[in-house]
């Protein structure tokens, strides 16, 4: 039976350290990291995510601002607001909560954010830095997974890693982060032929395909490390992962649960990157 990777415990541990680092930064440099989250409309799930981000920022000792805009906000007005925060040195992280209303182009909004304040790590400049092997801002879910590997002593160099899912948010940056640590990486997706056979050769398996209980024991090599990024609801409304936990845990050496695995790390890494952006601002 696999050992469980406790994302909540690790996130709490990192948050305590972050609050200490923030207090030291304030005391020594007189600088308080600042993060602003902009949300357009009243999507209930987005409202929950935004509240969680605000809570994490306050716990870290950051200056935090939530800007709630009506659904009718135009793209030009949103970009004008982003530009204002780009130019304000008091803010080191800018987040625009997705999804956006249909009349706003998310790509245009993403391009409007200063790459130095793009704590989501989605700006093409930050993606390019990651793919060139010189990351600055990294998408927070893959960054959190890398912290898990470090905390649990998972050796990556020379290992065979398979990532299932090719999104810009998780799959692609995850593959590159593993490659940067000298793993041999195969990036797969829903249309990959013989997917179970390929996955079953992996020492490290990261699943982010967005299909509940998609990965069964047939996908998993004995002793593999399995990271489940999925967050789906089953017919009873219960949260489940992309991995069929009970049967896969019988074969894996380490596995993340859902919930309580990768999820808690995501917001923690957003805050870590805001802190790092604040530190870098001192050098500019």
The one catalytic residue in 97, 181, 221, 244 is 97
- What is the Cα–Cα distance from 224 to 215, expressed in whole angstroms? 13
Chain position carrying tokens 């640590």 = 181
CA distance 272 to 260: 19
Helices (H), the chain: 7-29, 44-60, 75-87, 106-112, 124-131, 140-151, 171-180, 195-199, 245-248, 263-281
Q: Residues 277, 23, 57, 135: what is their CA dihedral angle, to the nearest 10 degrees?
A: 20
Among candidate residues 6, 117, 118, 120, the one labeled active-site is 120
Q: Is 26 a catalytic residue?
A: no
42 in active site: no
CA distance 275 to 19: 10
53/181 Cα distance (integer angstroms): 29
Q: Is 129 annotated as a binding residue?
A: no
Ligand-binding site membership of 171 (annotated) = no
User: Which are the contacts of 244, defined by CB distance < 8 A and separation ≥ 6?
Assistant: 213, 215, 216, 217
212 in a labelled binding site: no
21 catalytic, yes or no? Answer: no
Closest CA to 203 of 254, 244, 247, 153: 254
**Enzyme catalytic residues:** 53, 97, 120
In the annotated binding site, the residues are 165-167
* Annotation: binding site for NADP(+): 165-167
């Amino acid at each position: 039976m696999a050992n469980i990777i406790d994302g909540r415990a690790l996130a709490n541990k990192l948050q305590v350290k972050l609050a200490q680092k923030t207090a030291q930064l304030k005391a020594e440099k007189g600088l308080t990291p600042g993060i602003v989250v902009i949300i357009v409309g009243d999507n209930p799930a987005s409202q929950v995510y935004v509240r969680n981000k605000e809570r994490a920022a306050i716990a870290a000792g950051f200056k935090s601002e939530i800007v709630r805009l009506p659904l009718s906000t135009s793209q030009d007005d949103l970009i004008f607001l982003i530009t204002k925060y780009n130019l304000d040195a008091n803010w080191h992280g800018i987040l625009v909560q997705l999804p956006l209303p249909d009349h706003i182009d998310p790509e245009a909004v993403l391009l409007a954010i200063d790459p130095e304040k793009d704590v989501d790590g989605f700006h093409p400049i930050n993606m390019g830095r990651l793919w060139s092997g010189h990351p600055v801002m990294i998408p927070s879910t893959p960054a959190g997974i890398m912290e898990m590997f470090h905390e649990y002593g998972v050796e990556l160099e020379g290992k065979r890693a398979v990532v299932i899912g090719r999104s810009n948010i998780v799959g692609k940056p995850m593959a590159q982060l593993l490659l940067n640590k000298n793993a041999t990486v195969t990036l797969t997706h829903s249309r990959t032929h013989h997917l179970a056979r390929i996955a079953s050769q992996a020492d490290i398996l990261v699943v982010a395909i967005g299909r509940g209980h998609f990965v069964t024991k047939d996908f998993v090599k004995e002793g593999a490390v399995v990271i489940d990024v999925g967050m789906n609801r089953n017919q009873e409304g219960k949260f489940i992962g992309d991995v069929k936990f009970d049967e896969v845990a019988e074969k894996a050496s380490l596995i993340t649960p859902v919930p309580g695995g990768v999820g808690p790390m995501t917001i923690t890494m957003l805050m870590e990157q805001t802190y790092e952006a604040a530190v870098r601002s001192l050098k500019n």
